[in-house]
Each structure stands twice: as structure tokens, then as C-alpha cells.
Amino acid sequence: MLESKAKPSFVLPELPYEENALEPVISARTLSFHHGKHHAGYVTKLNQLVEGSVYAGWPLDEVVKRSAGDPAAKMVFNNAAQAWNHDFYWRSMRPRGGGAPGGALRDAIGRDFGGVSEFRTAFAKAAAGEFGSGWAWLVADKGGTLKIAATDDADTPIVRGERPLLTIDVWEHAYYLDYQNRRPDYIAAWLDNLINWEFAEVNFSTV
């Protein structure tokens, strides 16, 4: 039997930095497992699920949005949303990140949270308080107002028409090898050293 020569619908994106580039906040070992096993696993499973289905050939974000309201496509949604969320998470970080945003995003954070310090406190509280597995997000609604959202499991703001600007992964596989049960320590280190405000500024510019 001949093997199919068709290319998979989705491929695992490369990390935007080397696996050791986020040390000591996130170790190369954690990033290797997280990207090479967990993220890769979602992509592989998604390709299996969409083959020959109505979702075949659609862009990833469209698969996420359209499968979200389809109870029969729960597995498609879970794997598609996790693939999308993880790609966004990698770009929400950068080596030697942290600090504060500039320009219009800085002004919007001041308007909607009271300042960067107040945003940080609220974001860390949402991330630490997410029960079980999930994500914390900085999002803009359709009117441009900034909000912090926490989502369970694979859920993602794009299914509600919100524009994600940044996200932190608080599933245990994102931090447990480095921090064990100390999720707040991971969140604080992430905010201090990895948050990619430049990425958030670009996302905010398209709201």
C-alpha cells in the first residue's frame, strides 16, 4: 500500500528563540518537553482529526472558532485551540523581556488598570488563581478596552471575539520541572524577565 504524499494541514512552528534562551526563568529541559512533546502532540493529533473532515484545509484560527460551538468536534477544538494558544504563548515571551510597554498600550493600561504595576498585580492574581489547568490573558475587546481573562483547559479568547495581546500558560507542564508547585514564583519571574511587551504592542495596534 502506497503512503499518502499529502502534506499535513498543520505543522509545529519553530520556537522564536533557542531552547536555552529563557533560562534561568524557564529551563531548556522544560522548553524541550513543552514545545517538542506537548505542543507537537496537539499538532499531530489535530492533523489526524481533521483529515477528511469539514475542517481540512482551514486556517488554524478558523478551525478553533468554528469547532468551538460544535459538541461533535470537541476533540478538534481542544487540539486546535491548544496548538493556537501555545504558538501565541511562545511569542508572548522573549529573552531579556519584562519592563513596561510604551506608547498607546502604556496609555491604555493606565486608563483601564491604573498603571503597569496595577496591571501586573491583577494579571498575577488571575494567573495564580486559575484553578487546575488553563491560561491568563491580556485582551482587548471590540471597543479597545483592555481586560484580563482567565480560561480553563484549551479555551481561548478568540472564540469570543476578543483580541489577545499576551498570554501565560499555567498548565503544570509549563512550569513544574522548574518550580514544582510554586506557580506564583513562575508567574512573578515570567512578568519580571520574559513578558514580551513589543509583541503586545503590535497586537494592540491592530485592535
pLDDT tens digits for 60-108? 999 999 999 899 999 999 999 999 999 999 999 999 999 999 999 999 9
Rounded Cα–Cα distance for residues 100 and 14 (Å): 27
Please write down the long-range contacts of 113-118, taking CB distance under 8 Å and 24 or more positions apart: 113/146
Rounded Cα–Cα distance for residues 202 and 194 (Å): 17
CB 87 within 8 A of CB 156: no
Rounded Cα–Cα distance for residues 141 and 144 (Å): 5
Average pLDDT value for the chain: 94
Express as a percent the part of the chain with pLDDT over 90.
92
Prediction pTM value: 0.94
Rounded Cα–Cα distance for residues 20 and 17 (Å): 8
| Domains of the chain with bracketed CATH | 28-91 (1.10.287.990), 103-204 (3.55.40.20)
How large is the average pLDDT for residues 128-137? Answer: 96
Pairing between β-strand 163-169 and β-strand 134-140 as defined by DSSP bridges: antiparallel
